[in-house]
Copies of this chain bind each other. A is one copy, B any other.
């Protein structure tokens, strides 16, 4: 095996767990949004000082980007729903229901981190979040394209829009059942759109 073990670098070793710090940042960003959390609050929650944060992550936006990457990776089980051979008319409604449940499950971290970040007033944060959002939408599109190449773009846009609306409702404090009802109604359009040769 190639030794990809953590080979000690040359200077003073970092005194905090980088992954744990990212997890702390994720929690704060999820609870208060990108602009709702300052660097000082992030550093304090991590148990470090601002210079250590900047040395480890570069700048606030770069830290945010790493958090988004981890968030995207953690959503792998959701992406796993969309497997080759699966029927989008069945899977996408499941995806919406899952999202509805996740978004409203924990009121302290309501909504989707990426979707909410994509609406940030900070252009840097919004741009980075939208990159991850486009990536996720691309996954949905490609999944649909396997069976319905013509409608893949529209349906992917639609699914993303519904998820964005549910995320906003979750942040407004709406209960899970209310989001689930939206997801189920949205599924009607998906099934109608993806019906086997409607004409």
Contact = CB atoms under 8 A, between A and B. Distances in A.
A193 B119 CA distance: 30
Contact of A192 (B33, B121, B192): B192
Contacts of A164: 164-165, 168-169
**Number of chain copies forming the complex:** 2
A182 B161 contact: yes
Contacts of A115: 168
A35 B168 CA distance: 17
A162 B185 CA distance: 11
A148 interface: no
A153 to B, nearest CB: 8
Contacts of A119: 116, 119, 168, 171
A21 interface: no
A184 to B, nearest CB: 8
Contacts of A130: 172
A189 interface: yes
A160 interface: yes
Given A158-B186, A178-B157, A188-B188, A33 B121 contact: yes
